[in-house]
Amino acid sequence: MTTFLYDLSTTGAISFSDIINDSSNSFTRRLSEATQIRSRLRGALKESKRTDGEKDYLTIIKIIDDYLPQLQSIVNCVAHHELELKSEPVFSWRTTLSANFLNNSPRISLPSLHAEHACSLLTYAFALSNLARTIVISLGPFEHDRAISQAEREAKEEKLKHATGHLSRASGIFTYLSETVLPELQHSASAFKSKLPPDLSPEVNTALARMSLADAQTLAIRKLLSKSFYDSNIVPGPPLPKSHPAPGLIAKLHLECASLYSSARTLAKTPSASSKSAEDVSPELRHYLGDEALLHSALAKKWFGIDAGENGGESRGGDAVGLLIWAKKELQELKDGGKGAGLSRGDKEKRDRNLRKEKVTKELEIIGVWLKHYKKINDTIHFKSIPSQADLQSRLSSGVSAVFATSYSLPGPMFGPGSGARVQKEQDTLDREGSMGGSASSTYAGAGEYY
């Protein structure tokens, strides 16, 4: 499976010199540079929107990396009254997660520099996630390639690790947005009586943070299983290859993914006082979260069942069969439609769902092999009763995290208060004054002559 694909926003043109008054003429060049970098970002986003094939997310990420320190500098200068807003600025951005009856992205006007900061960070996180997806797609199902060399497989595992890192960074940015930036934006929007789209609600961004973390953990699981999948390519099923990680651990990792996707789906459906209704969050996102939660729930039960069969001894023979039957039932539900059964979908979502169905079909085949194996053993050797789902549920372990969000912190400003040049200048002034003071104190008339 691949991760969720975001349709990146586009933004309207703006000139910082038009909205900001530089009475001291100290920042004319700086404002021009900030405008130029933002113009480059606008152009890159428009180019991405027009491109049907492979998109250059890395360039967008690099431009935002250059733009954010410039924007932070402007925010600091305005806060310290070194620059003045001619009037409250309004920035125009297209929404990404909002859905309407035409199923397109409406352009909205948002007041304040906080809105510009939020939308830039949101686009940054979306681009990081999409870059991770691009990397994953480029790898293909390499772990199932019998002809691949160990060096090639390890190189692709390293790329999988990079994709995981991009998603962890995205999760940290979404968290920073929900906890730090968006509360300020909500205050500004309330003052101007503006409604924010779901994209800019703390609840939805918390959901996106959890989804990104779950996507990252999915890739971590894939990397962990890569060697053992290669070793068991010819005949999937019992026995597990010696290179296989503990099935109980794999089960717990999948269970954590299921929990993250499920809680993210709940949050994505939670109305926010400052945004439109929760139904404006695109169905595509909700379908993705619901289907992934069900998929990982089933895979957790599959691996708990295999763990019971391989490591539980005679006493858990019935558990192994019961858990695999339960996993098969959930996978069959997902194959038949999952959370989005009967709803119309766009081409992108159809492609992703087809990929998921291929994976589900393959998993059903593998579960069938294991279930047949454990059922035969239980029917002929162990003779244990099959526990109910409620009984099995009460004895399932909790999930385990293998990856964590990369904490995001603001970049240092390029100019103005807090910038490196300003701090150095202030330090030089202090050092110079200290030096002058020391000289005066040792050379005044009568120095050293105390009576």
* 239 prior amide bond cis, ω within 30: yes
Instruction: Report the SS3 class of residue 274.
Output: coil
- List C-alpha distances in Å: 359 to 96, 183, 289, 353, 445: 28, 40, 16, 10, 90
What is the mean predicted confidence (pLDDT) over 388-401? 95
* Band of residue 364 on the pLDDT scale cut at 50, 70, 90: very high
In this predicted structure, what is the pLDDT of residue 104? 64
Q: Which amino acid is at 228?
A: S
> Residues 373, 237: contact at Cβ < 8 Å?
yes
Helix axes 247-268, 283-311, angle to 10 degrees: 160
Q: Mean pLDDT, the chain, as a whole number?
A: 88
The pLDDT tens digits of the residues spanning 98-118 come to 755 445 677 889 989 999 999
Which residue is it, tokens 């979404």?
174
State the alpha helices, DSSP H only, in 312-346.
317-335
State the DSSP code for 254. H
Q: Which residues of 112-136 are buried (b: 16+ CB within 10 A; e: fewer)?
A: bbbbbbbbbbbbbbbbbbbbbbbbb
> Residues 228, 288: contact at Cβ < 8 Å?
no
Show the tokens assigned to 110: 């948002």
In this predicted structure, what is the pLDDT of residue 280? 73
> Residue 257 and residue 63: Cα distance in Å, rounded?
32
Show the tokens assigned to 180: 């730090």
Show the tokens assigned to 61: 């990420």
What is the mean predicted confidence (pLDDT) over 208-220? 98
Burial class (CB in 10 A: 0-12, 13-18, 19+), 274: buried
**Is the pLDDT reported for residue 343 higher than 70?**
no
Beta-carbon contacts of 152 under 8 Å, excluding residues fewer than 6 positions away, are: 142
In this predicted structure, what is the pLDDT of residue 82? 96
- List C-alpha distances in Å: 116 to 71, 72, 92, 98, 192: 8, 10, 9, 18, 15
Domains annotated for the chain, with CATH where assigned, are 16-394 (1.25.40.280)
> Residue 54 and residue 47: Cα distance in Å, rounded?
11
The pLDDT tens digits of the residues spanning 29-64 come to 999 999 999 999 999 999 999 998 889 999 999 999
pTM of the full structure: 0.90
> Residue 101 and residue 59: Cα distance in Å, rounded?
32
Show the tokens assigned to 95: 């929404």
Positive or negative, the Cα torsion across 372, 375, 379, 380? positive
* Band of residue 85 on the pLDDT scale cut at 50, 70, 90: very high
User: Which position has the higher pLDDT, 228 or 187?
Assistant: 228
Element (H, E) at 309: helix 283-311
State the alpha helices, DSSP H only, in 192-276.
202-231, 247-268
> Residue 172 and residue 365: Cα distance in Å, rounded?
37
**Is the pLDDT reported for residue 445 higher than 50?**
no
Task: Supply φ then ψ for residue 351, to 5 degrees.
Answer: -60, -45
Positive or negative, the Cα torsion across 262, 264, 265, 271? positive
